Amino acid sequence: DAKTDGRNRFAVYTTEMRRVNDKTFVIQTELAQAIEQQQLRLFFQPKCRLSDGVLMGAEALVRWQHPSKGLVLPGEFISVAEKIGLLVALDRWVMQEALRQLGEWMAAGWWQVGWRLSVNQNVVDLQHPNMLENLQNLLNQHQVSACALELEITEDAFLHHAPEQLDRLIQLQSLGISVAIDDFGTGYSSLAYLRKLPVSVIKIDQSFVSGMLTNETDAVLVHTIVDMTHNLGHTLVAEGIEDESQRQHLACLGVELGQGFLFDRALSAEIFAARWLASPAQS
């Protein structure tokens, strides 16, 4: 009967919750050690010009080389890191490693002028009083020019942290660092708000790209986002391009850049360099 059903459902629910909680607890404990024990890795996904597929940069994406689980994706640990207050330290490691790697590629003559390496940073990272100074020091240390760096901040981050961070974005860009709004379209930015955001790049979320050719609403949304952001003078990057028809459609709309499995997945630094930086086809 209904009463038993209800009780069973409750029992199932609590067991499931306990399982999730245990798992989260294990991840929390291990993640705290992962940075010190050098288990984090940076992978690189090429960012290409949509009209001809030529490389224009890359996005650095963090992975966790777990001693027993293998390579763990950020979906499994970024939110945990945020919850236990570890995301700032994680992002700091990511920025350091990204600039170290970029400096190495620049010194080797493998990184062309005009290419940008994008690094995901949580909006909280922006608030640190020494943020600009630290970043400038890292750029100097690794001899990386500011214009080779782009920061990606998710759109939803600006919902709760509006006014103070906007100044920081302006300061970053006056140093020459580019700022991109990540996962655009998934938050709730109004047109009026977007107009005030001091960013140069908008990344269209992959959910729109994947729905664009089959779903009328997604098609209209992509078209609207492209028109609106181009009118405001932003450069566009489309995420999650998996096939040629998507590339063609976005290129026709005038979207400048794209990332996705059509071009390549996120790769280890060695494989990325071998396949995209040092290959004879590039030069």
- Residue 107 CA to residue 82 CA, distance in Å, equals 34
Binding of residue 120 to ligand C2E (CB under 6 A): yes
Our CB check for ligand C2E shows the closer of 76 and 104 to be 76
* Binding-residue pattern over the window 152 to 191 for ligand C2E, x denoting contact by CB under 6 A: x-----------------------------xx--------
Report the amino acid identity of residue 55. Answer: L
Q: What does the alpha-carbon distance between residue 221 and residue 194 come to, in Å, rounded to a whole number?
A: 15
* Stretch near ligand C2E under the rule CB under 6 A, chosen from 160-168, 170-178, 223-231, 236-244: 236-244
The contact pattern for ligand C2E, residues 189-208, with x = CB under 6 A and - = no contact, is -----------------x--
Angle between helices 244-253 and 216-231 (to 10 degrees): 40
Beta partners for 257?
Answer: 49, 237
Residue type, 205: D
**Number of residues engaging ligand C2E in binding (CB under 6 A):** 24
Binds 45: which of ligand C2E, Mg ion, none (CB < 5-8 Å by kind): ligand C2E
One residue of 48, 61, 157, 250 binding ligand C2E per CB under 6 A: 61
Helix (H, G, I), strand (E, B) or coil at 70: strand
Does 264 contact ligand C2E by CB under 6 A? Answer: no
User: Least CB distance from residue 154 to Mg ion, whole Å?
Assistant: 7
**C-alpha R_g of the chain:** 21
Question: Counting every residue, how long is the chain?
Answer: 283
Of 20, 11, 65, 72, the C-alpha closest to 39 is: 65
48: contact with ligand C2E by CB under 6 A: no
CA separation for the pair 100, 193 (Å, rounded): 35
Q: Which residue of 47, 72, 91, 249 would you call a contact of ligand C2E, by CB under 6 A?
A: 91
Give the shortest CB-17-to-Mg ion separation in angstroms: 28
Residue 70 interacting with ligand C2E (CB under 6 A): no
Binding site for Mg ion (CB under 5 A): 120, 152, 182-183, 239
Q: Which of 53, 74, 187, 211 binds ligand C2E (CB under 6 A)?
A: 74
Which letter does DSSP use for residue 150 in this model? E
d(CA 85, CA 124): 11
